[in-house]
């Protein structure tokens, strides 16, 4: 790892992962265009003053999957043991148990033991490292969320499928040249009964991240077409959150009710807090005063020193670039205003 995360100021700014796909990349996609766009996205964040950058997740960009920005297919399709042949009968079978109400077709069908296949996160992370020119965060989707997108014809039960996915993703973690690796989970907030399984699977992955690398876990309540998909509250997930082997949490808070703030006080103090203070489900550009007030409200609940990061609730990919860029600028200005920088 070439760069380390800065220790000052005491509250750092970061983004969650995705960035709106530039129109010129959508029009003429190529490996070189993805590299060029990633370089642009790093630079935009740097100009805005973001402390911990992300690569925009363009390595998983897929014009054929605009509903999820390729975040599922990027991990699933390369794996050994998964068939991408999804016809009428498979679609109907998947619909019978409806694991994800907003998804009508599975990302794939598990036909045999899962394996690495052609999945190579190290390669994409190395490309990001060559372009970042500073500390950056690399993201991977949680095995629990991936499991809910699949039709299982091999393992016979959901827990075994989830843990098999955890093993495949975990084997991708060592030696990733990022200052921070973040695991993303947008489904467990609405399925709290599965929390023990999700935690076990995620910890398998987190434990394989290099010790020198900061470990983060991002949770939101879904963002599809600017809509919240999962119901629930942070209070119901406290035991789950405290069981994770991570250094900090990345939590959706800007689009959540104020009552959710109370739960933050009960998160284990060994886990730092990352707080969403930018709402990515609306086009409104938060003012620096609004950002500062949001940070203040959290610190009044949890105490000074518990908040290490402020960020958007989720990725930016559904917004226009002009909106995303202005929200990032406001994030930094609001943080600076709150800290008196």
Domain range annotation of the chain? 12-339
Contacts for 107 with CB less than 8 Å, ≥ 6 apart: 72, 73, 76, 77, 146, 149, 150
pLDDT of residue 254: 86
pLDDT tens column, 109-141: 999 999 999 999 999 999 999 999 999 999 999
CB 220 within 8 A of CB 231: no
Q: Which residue has the higher pLDDT, 245 or 258?
A: 245
The DSSP H or E segment spanning 301 is helix 288-302
Distance CA 212, CA 274 (A): 19
Residue with tokens 């284990």: 268
Q: Token digits for 155?
A: 């393992």
∠ Cα 57 194 169 (to 5°): 35
**What pLDDT, in 10s, does the model give residues 8-19?**
999 999 999 999
Q: What is the pLDDT of residues 163-213, one digit of tens each?
A: 999 999 999 999 999 999 999 998 887 778 899 999 999 999 999 999 999
Q: At what angle do helices 288-302 and 321-339 cross, to 10 degrees?
A: 50
Contact 216, 247 (CB under 8 A): yes
Percent of the chain with pLDDT strictly greater than 70: 91
- Give pLDDT tens digits for 42-81: 999 999 999 999 999 988 877 665 555 567 889 999 999 9
Q: What is the pTM of this model?
A: 0.92
Sign of CA dihedral 189, 106, 70, 2: positive
Instruction: Kindly report the average pLDDT of the chain as a whole number.
Output: 90
The domain 12-339 is placed in CATH, from the list 3.40.50.300, 2.60.40.10, 3.20.20.210, 3.20.20.60, at 3.20.20.210
């Amino acid at each position: 790892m070439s760069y380390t995360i800065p220790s000052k100021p005491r509250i750092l700014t970061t983004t969650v992962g995705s960035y709106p796909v530039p129109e010129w990349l959508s029009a003429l996609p190529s490996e070189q265009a993805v590299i060029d766009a990633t370089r642009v996205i790093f630079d935009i964040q740097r100009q805005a003053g973001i402390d911990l950058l992300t690569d925009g997740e363009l390595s998983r960009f897929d014009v054929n999957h605009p509903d999820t920005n390729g975040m599922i297919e990027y991990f699933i399709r390369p794996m050994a043991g998964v068939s991408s042949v999804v016809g009428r009968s498979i679609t109907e079978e998947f619909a019978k148990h409806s694991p994800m109400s907003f998804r009508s077709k599975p990302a794939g069908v598990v036909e045999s033991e899962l394996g690495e296949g052609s999945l190579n996160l190290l390669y994409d992370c190395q490309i990001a490292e060559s372009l970042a020119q500073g500390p950056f965060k690399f993201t991977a989707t949680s095995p629990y969320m991936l499991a809910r997108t699949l039709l299982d014809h091999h393992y016979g039960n959901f827990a075994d499928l989830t843990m098999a996915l955890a093993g495949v993703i975990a084997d991708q973690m060592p030696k990733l040249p990022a200052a921070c690796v973040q695991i993303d989970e947008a489904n467990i907030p609405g399925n709290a009964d599965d929390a023990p399984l999700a935690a076990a699977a995620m910890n398998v992955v987190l434990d394989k991240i290099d010790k020198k690398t900061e470990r983060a876990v991002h949770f939101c309540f879904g963002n599809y077409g600017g809509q919240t998909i999962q119901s629930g509250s942070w209070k119901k997930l406290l035991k789950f959150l405290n069981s994770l082997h991570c250094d900090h949490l990345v939590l959706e808070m800007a689009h959540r009710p104020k009552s959710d703030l109370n739960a933050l006080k009960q998160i284990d103090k060994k886990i730092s807090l990352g707080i969403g203070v930018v709402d990515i489900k609306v086009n409104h550009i938060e003012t620096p005063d609004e950002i500062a007030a949001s940070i203040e409200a959290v610190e009044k609940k949890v105490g000074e020193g518990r908040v290490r990061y402020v960020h958007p609730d989720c990725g930016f990919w559904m917004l226009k670039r002009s909106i995303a860029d202005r929200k990032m600028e406001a994030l930094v200005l609001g943080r600076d205003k709150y800290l008196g920088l």
